[in-house]
Structure 1
Amino acid sequence: MSRSSRNAPRIRLLTIALSLALPGLANAQETETEAKKGTSVLDVITVTAERREESVQDVPISITTVADEKLDVIASGGADIRFLSARLPSLNIESSYGRAFPRFYIRGLGNTDFDLNASQPVSLIYDEVVQESPLLKGFPVFDLDRIEMLRGPQGTLFGRNTPAGVIKFESVKPSQETSGYARISYGSYGTGTFEGAIGGALSPNWSARISGLYQHRDDWVDNTFTGEKNALEGYNESAVRAQFLYDPGANFDALFNVHARRMDGSARLFRANIIKPGTNDFVDDFERDQIAIDGHNFSELKTHGASARLHWDFGSLSLFSVTGYESADSLNRGDIDGGFGAVFAPPSGPGLIPFPSETADGLPEHSQWSQEFRLASNDWGRFDWQSGLYLYREKITIDSFSYNTLAGSVEDGYARQKQDNKAWALFVSGDYDLTDQWILKGGLRYTRDEKDFEATRYLSPFGADPIGPLTANPSASDVSGDVSINYAASEQVNLYARAAKGFRAPSIQGRLVFGDTISVAGSEKVFSYEAGVKADLFDRRARLGFSVFSYTVKDQQLTAVGGAANFNQLVNADKSIGRGFELDLEAYLTDRLLVTVGGSYNKTEIKDPNLYIAPCGGGCTVLDPPGPGEGLVSINGNALPQAPRWIGNVTARYSVPMGDGEFFIFTDWAYRSKVNFFLYESTEFTGKPLLEGGLRIGYLWQDGRYEAALYGRNITDRKAIVGGIDFNNLTGFINEPRIIGAEFTARY
């Protein structure tokens, strides 16, 4: 019997114990305690996880939300969307592109692929519009009402490419009431941020809200090869959102959204041979603010989009229409070998540079259109339902370049990919009150996905002939869905169980600059089971969410990134499994002390005895057994890449009345255990456990209208290797440095 099999009975027993104990605890509270006047209580959290506004405690899904002050605090210091990593249970986020291309992992399921055509099993929904391209997923976080993280397959209401889960962003919407804010901050490395919003009535029927963000950081990393001081790691980021709400107060309303983003700065800094051979430690002479590279480095990204959300109320029925358009334009160039010269072209370093590598990827053409029509019942009594039609089309063009650094960085390789992706779906979902305590929910979705792909190589850095166009036309149909049962053990405690199936459409890779073939991964399917409890405790002074889960991925899409061949290749593993638990706890320990605790355990395993890949080509210590072919290893039994087994986070806010305001201290900490950077296991390319913390000290006055604060992010200045490049040498990239600054906010 495997270790994971032995753990399963313990998880089930823990679920049963909580199910039996919590109702009694809640009932005891009803008889023994009553809310006292002036006592701090938790607000009711409203979510739209099931496309209706509901209390988070009533939704039979493992959900974590982030809003209000906590969101503002952990996003401070010029942070991009990766600030959410490990701040929510079962969530990891990393990037080999820096700010431009975040990769999300929920319950260990994600995709390490760095190609601009990569698909991810975690879907991002921004104001009800899916952000399919990886370059759209990093839109800056500002003027948000809340973030919702839905764990597990969401194949009914959100569709394909959601087998791991969904992260939903909801902007603050316009209203007739005039409101807004302005926030300015300045910190280490010239890190400056300004963001603000203003909104209110334009007429009795129209209201608007305009919000924007600007972020800047100075270059602060010296290039010791060129001798240039403060040469890299700076950025300029700006984004704007304009919303217009038409609400005549009758049976129709419409919300229009226009948004754009622009970012330019350094691409990810790959640092040659920063890992000590035979360990996963930094080399002894590593300096965070120095690098020695002879190639070019920059990152440019522009995105824009618009949406229209229409709603008709016909009394017993409501009709919703969501139309979305998104577009991205980018070019990202980096010195991939992370050093200068080569062993055959001295001087070279740091350490061994077998050959130079300088590449760029661009997205010169991109468009995404989506349309959803959804019909929903309005308070039909014990039975409510919704059904709809979803249409999607995305067209992309990707350019890949290689440059000869030793010859003045002249272009010596060029390939182009084109893809036209069409998809449509029909879905239906409903819930039925079996009794006043038992609610049965379920839904089904039929999806059809088709891709037309071609790739052409025009110039090879190795002198090979042009090739292509090579084509692929994968298609797939699938029925996904979910069923759940919710039991209201008391007014304070809900127990639930859920089974769900998710689906990810086929994926294609065609990076022909360094290879002669394209690869296609067939669709993957996820079967997930979870059970949980949600409870309001101590007269709403505390809130608990706890879930246990188990899933199996059949034909999982994996990406063999880099390796000795320096080529991305898609493969389907026979299956992978995962199991674990998640905890969310929020409580007022006193009227002045609010604490949140989150945690998760994720045990993942690839199960395919016939799957072999090429490991590193840069001198790492491979721990997997050799395969049948030369230069191959078996990854059967390995954990999924970038899937930490443990995640934990805690925040604490303590306040003291002072004058006509409030003095407060807010601290937050996030931990993730070790991770494999790649599909294979090696000593050097194993990321160490990472613990980062933040601190904020401030003063609020005039009922919270004004706030002045000092803040610190990564306050211990923890230095960690968070990813690697494995085809050339022991190259890695690192986490963000400590940022200390001051911030002022005015709300009105």
Structure 2
Amino acid sequence: MLRSVFLVATVSGIALLSAGAASAQTASPATETTGVDDIVVTAQRRSENIREVPFAVTALNTQTLKEISAGGADILSLSARVPSLQVESSNGRYAPRFYIRGLGNVDFDFTASQPVSVVLDDVVLESVYLKGFPLFDVQQLEVLRGPQGTLFGRNTPAGVIKIDSVKPSDDFTGFGSLTYGNLGSVRAETGVTMPLTDTLSMRVSGLWNHRDDWVDNAYNASFADADGDDLGNFDDVAARVHLAWTPTDRLSTLLTLQARDYDGTGTMNRANSLTKGSNELNGNFDRETVYYDGGRNNFQKQKTTSQSLRVAYDFGAATLTGIIGAYQGSSSGDGDIDGGVASASATASYKTPFNSESGTLSSDLRQNTYELRLASNGDARLGWQVGAFYWDERINLVTGTFNGVGGLQPTKVTDITQKSDSWSVFGQTSYRVTEALKLTAGVRYTDDSRDYNGRIVTGTPVGGQGATSVGDEQVSWDVSALYEINDGLNLFARVAKGYRGPSIQGRNLPVLTTADSETVMSYETGFKARLWDGRARLNGTAYIYEVDDMQFTAIGGADNTNRLINADKGEGHGVELDGDIYLGAGFSLSAGAAWNHTEIKDSDLLVAVCGSNCTVTDPIVMVGTTRRAKIDGNPFPQAPEYTANLTLNYVLPLGDDTEFFASTDWVMQKDFNLFLYESVEFMQDTAFEGGLRAGWRDLNRGLEAAAYVRNVTDEENVIGAIDFNNLTTFVNEPRTYGVQLTKRF
């Protein structure tokens, strides 16, 4: 019932926005003075109105991020917040995986590449290891959909998540926020800007995100607490310092230092939580209970530090910008992968056919980036920018397999090192042909290389090792047109070629696989409208793309290994809508929806499947004694066909610059497959979540007090699975609730 109500509400919200288009020419400006603000983005590496960007981009502001992060949520909470965006992870609160318009990578390994890039304060976070850096003191987050290979480089054929934190200014400003909720949740966040001299200012910000253990390991293994809860905790501490120096009107510099220290529980796999022939969680599932004989309660630890320097000099006609960035990180962790106990009695709900326990003994990551960019200034008819970029990365990953029953010494140890580097040159130009028509074109040349060397230190085959290298060079480009029909309506069209570099997967030696580069041709067209004399905004996009040599990761079947494969082609097409409207009487509404259809096109491609305990619906081919599924025509994994989001806000003035406020927000993903092959159990129907927040604020004194509830209906949504022969799944966050106090100055 709730699913139907949410779908109707979202469609109604879009309809309200669309109705604004029909009324835009007749609405009286005197009837309402409150409207939606213009949104300024930097999606094309320069500040401009979002309606001037000739492709689909959506921006999330500080308030939105504040609301969805209450209760301890991490970057996974961005999923479905904008059309066509999916975020998931089987690595707990770090190493998230992003998907845009269905394009992503399900590989759980730190060395995996993704077709969605994350850029934080102009520095690319290339490794999946870095993409889980917590969101705090964020000014704006932009989601750029479609290939972005011209200005943002390699591994962006699906799009970019662009995050900009709050920078120092000339004024003494800041805030402090404290949230306390159930499950022992505490979130403390602060940010303060301090002008030090006429030319020097500093921004210091920090985050402490905490939750107590709230899940009991009822198997009571030797490492479990027989009298208390064992899993679900985390402590995530992060800090950032910006130091801005502007010695002259032309020269500006920004030094940024960051650090993170995370210690918590990884993904909690739950054995036998599905029943053969059904994709619904069954009676074996209990949010507050697991049965683990291995994994040492699925602990995780991660430390990250970074440094970056941005220097810009304004020559008048153009500005030269240089950016140097460096990231360092280390981590360790363990997990009961099967999610149950192999030695349990045959009738036990947590009985598994075998034990599987593995984790990271240690990892060491080093990433360096260098960028130099020269861009024209002003609003002249001709605008341009050119630049060069270099990126290098070294990751050493030592992984261990254990006996699965609490043994401290691994039965297999694999030590791998992967070195990667990429350099590129790029340029973009735009030309305003008439006052209404603007054309933009860009091109980028990229040279990529990866070198892998790995060996089995302990275990079978003793001394097993592998070494390989991959490399490629590609040209990415895009051409777009933006046409202004009138002051309230722009039309755009874009053709773009994207590129993801070749990949290597060798975590599970002696299995060592590679994948060739994939290239994407994308076509999209749409509109960006400002309606009802500024009281509403509506954007729409229709797109189609084709991927050649599409990279996929075939995980498991029965052995939980990763194998890289290339499909001949992948295809996708869809429609996206999003917008905002001020309804009057203190009510405002924002909503978005997307339909994304994806399809694998390769008549010869076969992948391993789960054991006999699941219901595979693909054609089966026997390869020796092993079952393989033909996946031609299947959707991409973790690619919802439908996504939607809706937020309703209400503000009631109380006098003396105080007000009451309330909001509710909802997201939905519908019809998505967890794996490359299709089975009844692993094809998910509809997943949704809602949140509520209400409170009081004093605008003069900068005070705000609020109460919140996240996952209001305590939905139990399957977000991933382990396709062993025991139908193991992992699910979304539980319902959280609490209070939040904020002071701004």
State the TM-score, normalizing by the size of structure 1.
Answer: 0.94
- The answer as to 2:573 corresponding to 1:579 is yes
Matches within 5 A, 1:121-520: 121-226=115-220, 227-295=226-294, 296=296, 297-342=298-343, 349-379=348-378, 381-406=380-405, 408-460=407-459, 463-468=460-465, 470-512=466-508, 515-520=509-514
Which of 18, 34, 39 does residue 29 from structure 2 map onto?
A: 34
Distance in 1 separating the partners of 2:458 and 2:727: 28
8 Å contact from structure 1 (residues 116, 363) kept in 2: no
Which of 587, 591, 599 does residue 597 from structure 1 map onto?
A: 591
1:57-92 C-alpha deviation (Å, 9 max, x unpaired): 110110110003222111211110011101111001
Distance in 2 separating the partners of 1:628 and 1:553: 28
1:612-632 C-alpha deviation (Å, 9 max, x unpaired): 011113621111101252411
> Which piece of structure 1 moves more, 200-209 or 398-407?
398-407
- The answer as to 2:549 corresponding to 1:543 is no
Which of 633, 646, 652 does residue 648 from structure 2 map onto?
A: 652
Q: Which letter does structure 2 place at the counterpart of 1:439?
A: K
Change (3 A) 1:731 1:228: farther
1:210 Cα deviation from its structure 2 partner: 0.1
Cross-structure match for 2:86: 92
8 Å contact from structure 2 (residues 661, 696) kept in 1: yes
Q: Which letter does structure 1 place at the counterpart of 2:672?
A: V
1:105-152 C-alpha deviation (Å, 9 max, x unpaired): 100000000111111100000000000111210111111110000000
For 1:230, what is the secondary structure of its paired residue?
Answer: coil
1:267 Cα deviation from its structure 2 partner: 1.1
Q: Which runs of 5+ in 2 are unaligned?
A: 1-17, 221-225
8 Å contact from structure 1 (residues 185, 193) kept in 2: yes
1:659 Cα deviation from its structure 2 partner: 3.9
> Which piece of structure 1 moves more, 248-257 or 357-366?
357-366
Distance in 2 separating the partners of 1:561 and 1:281: 22
Distance in 1 separating the partners of 2:379 and 2:232: 56
1:35 Cα deviation from its structure 2 partner: 5.2
1:377 Cα deviation from its structure 2 partner: 1.2
1:410-456 C-alpha deviation (Å, 9 max, x unpaired): 31000111111111000010000111100000100000001111111
Distance in 1 separating the partners of 2:672 and 2:125: 27
Distance in 2 separating the partners of 1:166 and 1:616: 33
Cross-structure match for 1:8: none
- The answer as to 2:698 corresponding to 1:701 is yes
8 Å contact from structure 1 (residues 618, 727) kept in 2: no
Distance in 2 separating the partners of 1:249 and 1:490: 40
For 1:142, what is the secondary structure of its paired residue?
Answer: coil
- The answer as to 2:100 corresponding to 1:106 is yes
1:230-283 C-alpha deviation (Å, 9 max, x unpaired): 110111011000001111342110011101111101111111111112111222
8 Å contact from structure 1 (residues 342, 349) kept in 2: no
For 2:104, what is the secondary structure of its paired residue?
Answer: coil
Change (3 A) 1:50 1:459: same
Distance in 1 separating the partners of 2:21 and 2:608: 53
Distance in 1 separating the partners of 2:494 and 2:676: 30
1:24 Cα deviation from its structure 2 partner: 8.2
8 Å contact from structure 2 (residues 270, 285) kept in 1: no
Count of residue pairs brought into register by the alignment: 718
8 Å contact from structure 1 (residues 362, 400) kept in 2: yes
Distance in 2 separating the partners of 1:305 and 1:25: 51
Distance in 1 separating the partners of 2:212 and 2:155: 37
Distance in 2 separating the partners of 1:715 and 1:448: 48
8 Å contact from structure 1 (residues 565, 614) kept in 2: no
Distance in 2 separating the partners of 1:728 and 1:594: 49
For 1:488, what is the secondary structure of its paired residue?
Answer: strand
Cross-structure match for 1:670: 667
1:586-609 C-alpha deviation (Å, 9 max, x unpaired): 010104111001111100000000
1:322-379 C-alpha deviation (Å, 9 max, x unpaired): 1111111111210111112337xx6895344111111112553211000000011123
Cross-structure match for 1:11: none
> Which piece of structure 1 moves more, 686-695 or 605-614?
686-695
Cross-structure match for 2:8: none
- Could you tell me the percent identity over the aligned residues? 43
Distance in 1 separating the partners of 2:130 and 2:349: 35
Cross-structure match for 2:712: 715
Distance in 1 separating the partners of 2:348 and 2:116: 38
Distance in 2 separating the partners of 1:604 and 1:378: 40
Distance in 1 separating the partners of 2:81 and 2:612: 33
Distance in 2 separating the partners of 1:35 and 1:208: 44
For 1:367, what is the secondary structure of its paired residue?
Answer: strand
1:409 Cα deviation from its structure 2 partner: 4.2
8 Å contact from structure 1 (residues 277, 620) kept in 2: yes
Q: Which runs of 5+ in 1 are unaligned?
A: 1-19
Distance in 1 separating the partners of 2:162 and 2:196: 28
Cross-structure match for 1:570: 564
State the TM-score, normalizing by the size of structure 2.
Answer: 0.94
Distance in 1 separating the partners of 2:137 and 2:311: 22
For 1:473, what is the secondary structure of its paired residue?
Answer: strand
Change (3 A) 1:662 1:613: same
- The answer as to 2:681 corresponding to 1:684 is yes
Distance in 1 separating the partners of 2:501 and 2:106: 17
8 Å contact from structure 1 (residues 293, 339) kept in 2: yes
Distance in 2 separating the partners of 1:366 and 1:668: 37
Q: CA RMSD in A?
A: 1.7
Distance in 2 separating the partners of 1:729 and 1:690: 22
Change (3 A) 1:459 1:437: same
Distance in 2 separating the partners of 1:721 and 1:506: 31
For 1:42, what is the secondary structure of its paired residue?
Answer: coil
Change (3 A) 1:551 1:368: same
Q: Which letter does structure 1 place at the counterpart of 2:352?
A: I
Distance in 2 separating the partners of 1:22 and 1:381: 33
Cross-structure match for 1:725: 722
Change (3 A) 1:380 1:689: closer
8 Å contact from structure 2 (residues 570, 601) kept in 1: yes
Change (3 A) 1:667 1:406: closer
Change (3 A) 1:159 1:330: same
Q: Which letter does structure 2 place at the counterpart of 1:616?
A: C
For 2:411, what is the secondary structure of its paired residue?
Answer: strand
8 Å contact from structure 1 (residues 626, 633) kept in 2: yes
1:637-670 C-alpha deviation (Å, 9 max, x unpaired): 0000000000011001111112431001110000
8 Å contact from structure 2 (residues 335, 357) kept in 1: yes
1:22 Cα deviation from its structure 2 partner: 9.4
Cross-structure match for 1:5: none
Distance in 1 separating the partners of 2:97 and 2:491: 32
For 2:604, what is the secondary structure of its paired residue?
Answer: coil
